[in-house]
Structure 1
Amino acid sequence: MPPPLSSIKSGVTNHQRFELSSDTFAGSLCRALVIAGVGFFLISLFLVSHSNYSGQSELLSPLQRIWVSSYQDESESRTNISHIVFGLVGSVNGWRDRRPYIEAWWQPNVTRGYLYLDVTPPEDLLPWPSSSPPFRVSEDNSKILEITKHDATMVRIARGLLETFREGDEGVRWIVMGDDDSIFFLENMVEVLSKHDHNEYVYIGGHSESILPNVIHSFDMGFGGAGVAFSYPLAAAVVPRLDDCIKRYPMIYAADQMWQSCLADLGVYLTAQKGIHQIDLHEDISGLLSAHPQAPLISLHHPEKVSPFFPFLDRHQSVNHLFKAAKLDQSRLLQQTICYERKSNWSISVSWGYSAHIYESVYPKSILQKPLETFMPWVKDVPPPLYVFNTRLLSTDPCQAPHVFFFHSIDKVAGNQILSIYGRAGSRGLPACPVTGGHSADHISKIRVFSSPAKLEANSRECCDIVRLDGNMAELKYRACGKDEVVA
């Protein structure tokens, strides 16, 4: 049957009409999807740019997790040293002696930050060395001091945070405040800070090792000389309010407690981090450094208040000697690993890059992880408890007193290994332990330790084996611990 005349006149069949209408519908659908997609993308960008606001609606959180988090992962690199700015506060009089401490860890053209001095450096300190942080002269704080009667140095330290922030460095995720005798281990610091969300309000620090300073100031405070880290958004919130906060607390003496009080008023509290060491101690801290907690070494403070880290070197030389190991492997520095020589009933405890101890008895990790009390508390003549950690008392019992060895040298060797060598500090002056077979370790004068150059993950552990005992030398090799391996 021929088609209707109307169809012939128009030249369009019913089938063709259906095809045209389908094409029109498909085009409209595509345009709608494109518009919706663009709108969704713009919303995602908005959420990314406002993701650090604490008032963000909880209803949007699932959307952020699905869409925005992947955008952030691609657009934000992992935290590195360029994202950190240091604010270090010192004095011209102290700089001559403390300069070597900073220059041991400061990396010119890599590390960012400023040294705030009390006055302009005299001519004998100029020209200012490029191996040191660029200096600034602290602002005049006389107006605040007239009101609060604070200690001038403490206010200058507290306002160092404000002055560091106002330098206006770009791409900053963290501001770390410290003193001119603070010693930082940058690779470990970056590793720890990268675990935290720099877009949030984060305040990271460490406690004093001695109980009394924590009681006098606060257990909720990060002690400033050891280093206090402020996420950039937190610093941005504190800085406009800092002067008013200092005025609000005329009864507070210490700068770091001023920060802690200001942050508490904002509802921000300390994230305590092991490995940040205020070193509120006196005399020989080798016992502490030989039994470091299972955490990256981030800082050491007060090197002038304690004996040199290594008894055969002065203080400046000791810091540089420690950095010989740090430059090859910061991730293992001071991390404690324990081996056993079962035939002789020996325990060998190694604080990598610092010391090794041989005990003529078999002791489990739970015992050897407690520092030997070679040191004294920050404030003397106070009743116990003295420290915020457990200790072991020094003993002349030959079964309890260790043979002590200190880090001597380090190098990369064949087989993709790092070899660190530890030499005997001196004669123990005691007989062999009688209850474990009388196997003396007096003849051992050197301990060689082989470790992997691969980075040790933070808060992880390693085990070791004694692979050789030959004459006056013991040779140890680190390895990964077996699943649920017991060190005892």
Structure 2
Amino acid sequence: MAFGGAGFALSYPLAEALVANLDRCLETYPFYFVSDQILSACIADLGVPLTSEKGFHQIDLVHDISGFLSAHPQAPLISLHHLDIATPIFPTMDRHKSVRHLMTAAKIDQSRLLQQTACYHKQKNWAFSIAWGYSAYIYETLIPRSILRRPFETFTPWSLKRRPPDYMFNTRLVTNNSCETPHIFFFRSVTRHSNNNNNSNTNIDEIVMTYVRYKPRQLPPCSSNHSADYISKIRVYSPATKLNFVENRGECCDVLNVDGKNTAEVRIRACKKTEITIV
């Protein structure tokens, strides 16, 4: 059903039909105690099916929801409910400051907020997973994008009394395996600047985001020569244009530099027509 906490959208004709029949619906369902349950039943009785919109989030999850937010569905973020139950989404801030911090990214580009992209640095055998405006992960092995889109189960179910499955999506378990556990970075700051294009003598607006390491991973390297422990900051460049969801395709990215003193650089861009992100 559509949850009132996450929110739902009604067309004008459906709202009109509900108003005309709401009293009858209330009489039919006196045993329902909450409004979203009643409305779901009434809408079903009107013959209208529910269309799922992936950007509405009831988030009946408890504790650390960073794993979920770092692998957000490929859809515009519309709502986040029950953040009062979850731990602060940025671990160095309280709940109120965490939400305000996320909104600083949204004010720059709401269309890309939490949108995930992945790219690879094959010389070092690293995979990058970027959740725009929220987090960035570095894995010390080339994990396919199809796996990276599954959220880490950092959270717990709303009720531990229920039997599995607890979620309507696949998850990955958190482990101490060095090749499966990422280095975790969180969004710190964002700026907008113009980058000169020498070929056309024009300035191209870009958004520059900085993500900083949350804490040391405290695991041995996945391979002896390619540890990412020295990276303390990730700088992510993205277009200043809004993300177009019409084609229903995510963006691609390129790893620009990992050889600096402590900073990796990644650029997000539109995928080429037949490009596939595969390792």
TM-score, structure 2 as length reference: 0.93
The whole-number CA distance in structure 1 between the counterparts of 2:116 and 2:174 is: 19
Q: Which amino acid aligns with 1:426?
A: K
The whole-number CA distance in structure 1 between the counterparts of 2:78 and 2:86 is: 18
> Could you tell me which of 24, 27, 38 is aligned with 1:258?
38
Question: Which of these two proteins has the greater Rg computed from alpha carbons?
Answer: 1
Match of 2:199 in 1: none
Q: How does 1:69-84 map to 2 (within 5 A)?
A: none
What's the offset of the Cα at 1:466? 0.9
Q: Specify the SS of the correspondent of 1:303.
A: coil
Summarize deviations over 1:193-240 as a string: whole Å, max 9, x none: xxxxxxxxxxxxxxxxxxxxxxxxxxxx11110011111121111112
Match of 1:130 in 2: none
> Could you tell me which of 146, 151, 155 is aligned with 1:371?
151
Q: Which amino acid aligns with 2:207?
A: I
Summarize deviations over 1:300-359 as a string: whole Å, max 9, x none: 001101011100111011110000000010111100011111011000100000000000
Larger strand proportion of the pair: 2
1:441 paired with 2:228, answer yes
1:242 paired with 2:22, answer yes
What's the offset of the Cα at 1:485? 1.4
What's the offset of the Cα at 1:417? 0.4
What's the offset of the Cα at 1:267? 0.9
Q: How does 1:31-430 map to 2 (within 5 A)?
A: 221-415=1-195, 416-430=205-219
Match of 1:131 in 2: none
The whole-number CA distance in structure 2 between the counterparts of 1:484 and 1:358 is: 26
The whole-number CA distance in structure 2 between the counterparts of 1:246 and 1:303 is: 30
The whole-number CA distance in structure 1 between the counterparts of 2:242 and 2:235 is: 20
The whole-number CA distance in structure 2 between the counterparts of 1:381 and 1:487 is: 40
Match of 2:240 in 1: 453
Percent identity reads 55
Q: Unaligned stretches of 5+ in structure 1?
A: 1-220
Match of 1:199 in 2: none
Q: Which amino acid aligns with 1:346?
A: W
How large is the RMSD of aligned CA atoms in angstroms? 1.0
- How many residues align? The count is 266
Q: Specify the SS of the correspondent of 2:229.
A: coil
The answer to which of 290-299 and 375-384 deviates more is 375-384
> Could you tell me which of 254, 257, 266 is aligned with 1:476?
266
The whole-number CA distance in structure 2 between the counterparts of 1:266 and 1:480 is: 42
The whole-number CA distance in structure 1 between the counterparts of 2:144 and 2:33 is: 43
Larger helix proportion of the pair: 1
Moved over 4 A (4+): none
The whole-number CA distance in structure 2 between the counterparts of 1:297 and 1:367 is: 21
Q: Which amino acid aligns with 1:477?
A: R
What's the offset of the Cα at 1:383? 2.5
The whole-number CA distance in structure 1 between the counterparts of 2:209 and 2:82 is: 27
